Each structure stands twice: as C-alpha cells, then as structure tokens.
A and B are shown apart, each in its own frame.
With several copies, the nearest count.
Chain A
C-alpha cells in the first residue's frame, strides 16, 4: 500500500527510492557478470538500509502526528471497517438485519458471533469500501432505522446474556429529510437511555471517526476504547471551524483545540484504553490490527463478564455521572465557584 497522505510525502519519496533500488538489485542479480565484485552486495545493503530508514521514518512520523494528521489517518479510505473486523476476529458470525419497523440500514451492521469461543453481539458503522458499497451504506452515516436495529440487537444480547461490542466509525448521523421524518433525534436519544440500562456488558471501540451524536448513539457502554489514530469529537473539525473560526479551512486548528485524539481523551479520563495500531496505521495491516483488537476485546470482556450485572450497571452510571461533575479532573475546581 502506497503512502498517500499529505504528511506522508517524505515516506512516499523513500518508498519510491526503495522501489527503484529494488529494480536495480533485481536487474543486477539477473546479470551478475556485468558488475564488479562487491557492487551487488553494496546495492543490497543500500536497499536494506532504505527499508530500515522507511520503518524508522514511519515510526517517528507516526509518533508525533498532529491531531489533524490523525484525522487523515482515521479517515483513510483503506482503513479497516466493521465488516473487516468481524471477518478477521470472529470464528462464527451471523448477520441480524432490520429494525422490524421500517428497513435495514446498511450504515450500521451487526449480528451474533463467536469471538474466542464466547457468544457476543457485535455491531458497528460501515462506511463501505468501493463506490457501490459506499452508496449502499450512505458512507456510514446512519439513519434512524440503523440506530433502532442496533438497539434491537443489543436487546437481543441482553436476552441471551451476550456481551455487546460496538465499533464506531462515522462522520456523523445522516443529515437529510428522511432522517428527520423518521426521528433521528428520538432514535439516538432512546439508544442513550437504552444502553445506559442494558443488563449486559457493553464494550465500545472507536475504530475511525467518532463523529458526534451519530457516534454516541452506539457508544454508551462500560468501557470506551479508541484505536491509536482514531478521533472522537463533538463536531467535525470542519464544522467546528466554520462556526467558531467562520472558515472551515481552520479545521486543523479546531482539531487541535477541541482535543479529539485518543491520547487527548485518555489523558482527560474520557476513555479507558488506547488500542495500538500497526506501524503506519491500521490500514497498512488489517490482519495485525484485527489480531491486536481481538486480544484487547477479549481481555476487556473477560473482566466485564465477571462482574455481577447490578455492579456493572452502577459502575456504568457512575462512569457517565462523573463526567463534568465539579470534582471532575477536567473542570478545575477554581473555575467552578
């Protein structure tokens, strides 16, 4: 996979050098007689050197990504989506469709699955990979029936005492007339109260973009994890910029100021854990990403499933109750008179 993001340009240059060097080495190997002794070894060493350099450069680039750069990674078109994770993590999966009221929203998909031998309900936003799928999924921007299907699946999990795993990756809930007609506000609101009271563990993982109410509608749970380069925000940086800076070009500033990265949010106690990504981002190695996530999910579920459900619910209530209390770490006591 090519390095194709703006801030990856130096890496892309290195990548091109590597590919040229590879061709050189290959050509030389085909006709070793044409080269001086040692020349071939030197060429191979140079190639290895370049490769090592790329790894180092990638590592250092990704170690100090700006929030706006993370936004680019979180939105990468090759980033793994919910269906990828399901396919790569679950031993068995059966999709449950439909809200039993109106339709089957492809922007949120999920079903029952076995994950490391445990029956779970897993669901998440699906942005879609190719054009056809993206259209079908409305680019992951879910409609009311998506949230209602999600709640139906979670009630299903509750009935069968399966834990729920939600994967969040959405720019924002659908903004159109149909969404309003069928009550996108009501659908999200009912999920918030429904998830707060669901009598089974809920583990939420922000895998890409956690965009506003559309993200929150499936991410009320016992623990919120975020992938290393994912973001979670009250409004998209572009939207925030166009209001607070009166120009959407200030999106990078908004991304910085609003504290939307996994690192910012862990620091502020709003999430429980960061899930490391493969070098250069999840999209560079889907299988490794899925393996890491599977391990993370498993150890979290092991802990959550061991708790009596009443304790779980009380802790879940307290988790949210504490956000923005005057005693909260984020609201300095001084400013709350």
Chain B
C-alpha cells in the first residue's frame, strides 16, 4: 500500500516540495514557497495563517505537534503511550539498510518516537482523546506500534467515555513489518466496533495524504468524517492507478472534493474553521453521550 502513496506524493509535490512532504523553509524561515502556486510567503504570516497559502489556499502539511497545537486548547494535551517504540519483528533489511536504522534516523529527524502521537486533551473546554499521525515518520505508515497506540487511544476513549478524534496522514501499512502491519487494520477497526458499542462518537479527520491501509480501515470508519481542502484521499494514489489502467485520470481523482462528491465523507473543513467545527460537534454529541453511556451499559448486561 505504501507504493501507492509514494507515487501519489511525487505527483502532489511535483512542483517544489520535498518528497516526504516537508516544505523547505527558505533561509532563516523568513519565507516559504507554496508548492501549489509557487508564491513566496512571508514566514510569520504563513504561520499565523495556519500554514495555509494566502494566495491559493493550499493547506501545507502539519506535523503532529503542529496539528495538536492547532486543534487543542492550549496546555491541555497529555500524551500517553509515548514510550511505545517499534521493534523490528522481521529483522527487516532492504538495500543493505536495516529497518532498525531507518527507525532511528526517523526518530532523530522528527523528534517523535513513532508516526503517531496519542493523548488526552480539550477543545473549547470539552475533553476528548486525540490521535494525530505524522506523515514525516516513514510516510505516516502503520506498523504494529502505530496500530497499538491507536488501539490504546480508542480503548481509552471507550473506558473513559470520551469522544475520539483521529487525524490521519498516512500512506498505508508499513511494509517493513509485513503482515503484522496489515493486521493493525483489523485490530484498530475491531476496537472501533467496541467504541461504537459504548456510544462514544468518533470524528475522523482526513488530512493530506490518507491512503492505503489507513484509508481502508479506521480513517473511513468515523461517525463523522471530515477532510482538509485539497487532501489526497483514497485507496490508491492517482499515479498508481494510472500505471494500472494505462490511462490518464480526471484531475480531481482522490481529492477531498472527489470523496465528498461520491458520498464518502461528511464535509471539507478549512483549517481555520476546524476548531470551531470540532467544538460544535463535541457540543452536539456531548448532549447525548450521558444518555448513551447509561443506556448502553444497561443493555450490555
């Protein structure tokens, strides 16, 4: 599944961005160049503008810490399961590069322990469990530890009767962990089944890109599914599809607009409105959650 995204990526970023999606800041971070319209943006303005291009509206990718800062009430984030780090279950080596080394490099580069950060936090004063993937870490790919951390987040939400928000950004399953990675799709989905049983709402936010095994599991199982404008969303990336069918695809294939038009998501939300929309949803679902937890615990007996 990884291949699809990697191809897709080179597609998306063909005009200047680093292939792993990180944007190269110009000297001293004074300015950044929009990979979509090539406009040079003043760094400070760009940061105030939620990392959105003021000219064309392009939503730059956010790292997990940036996303958390954007969405949560200041100072409310409490990370958990941070100490879980991937092993190398298959002792995987490709092109003389051990997976173990790759992991170490990614940790050093990103300052993260894995491609996902999970924890508790608040939005507009309302508590929730939040999961944020980081595409910089091996393309946000889901290995056993990513799956494990997400599953623990889901279980925490279920145990504590909290709403769950997952912000996806992933190319799919992590090939270096073989079938163990694929099974994380089943594991996370099963956990979401349990969450639904106890009546906690799950909001899924699809950010650029959400493809492969992540899109074919928890990302598309949200009670409410939102997407950021322009995000690449789909099972396969457009490049991979074009290679498979030997045809050019319509330009909007597997964009946020595409999946909304085909009834797969509820809405596309501009980044500056995200907090407000999430706040509104938490208020609405908050009104029925007490009812639900009481009734469902009765029903489960």
Contact = CB atoms under 8 A, between A and B. Distances in A.
Interface of A: 92, 94-105, 111-114, 117-119, 145, 149, 156, 159-162, 173, 175-177, 179-186, 188-190, 192-193, 196-197, 212-213, 216-217, 220, 232-235, 239-240, 242-246, 250, 253-254, 257-260, 265, 268, 270, 316-317, 320-321, 323-326, 328, 330-332, 334-337
Contact of A185 (B199, B234, B284): B234
Contacts of B245: 175-177
Given A104-B263, A331-B86, 17 more contacts: A97-B263, A100-B263, A149-B263, A161-B288, A177-B250, A183-B263, A188-B216, A193-B192, A213-B212, A234-B177, A245-B94, A253-B94, A323-B183, A323-B186, A331-B144, A335-B88, A335-B100
B189 A119 contact: no
Interface in B219-264: 219-221, 223-224, 234-236, 240-241, 244-245, 249-250, 253-254, 258-264
Interface of chain A: mostly helix, strand, loop or mixed: mixed
Nearest to A105: B263
Contacts of A156: 223
A244 B95 contact: yes
**Considering residues A92, A101, A186, A212, which has the most beta carbons from chain B within 10 angstroms of its beta carbon?**
A186
Contact of A189 (B177, B191, B219, B289): B219
A232 B178 CA distance: 9
Interface residues of B, number: 92
Interface string B156-180: 0000000000000000011111111
B280 interface: yes
Contacts of A253: 94
B218 interface: yes
**Considering residues A149, A179, A212, A235, which has the most beta carbons from chain B within 10 angstroms of its beta carbon?**
A235
Contacts of B253: 177, 180
Interface in B199-228: 199, 201, 212-213, 215-221, 223-224
Interface in B79-93: 83-90, 92-93
Given A92-B284, A324-B184, A213 B216 contact: yes
Contacts of A321: 151, 187, 190-191
A328 B90 CA distance: 13
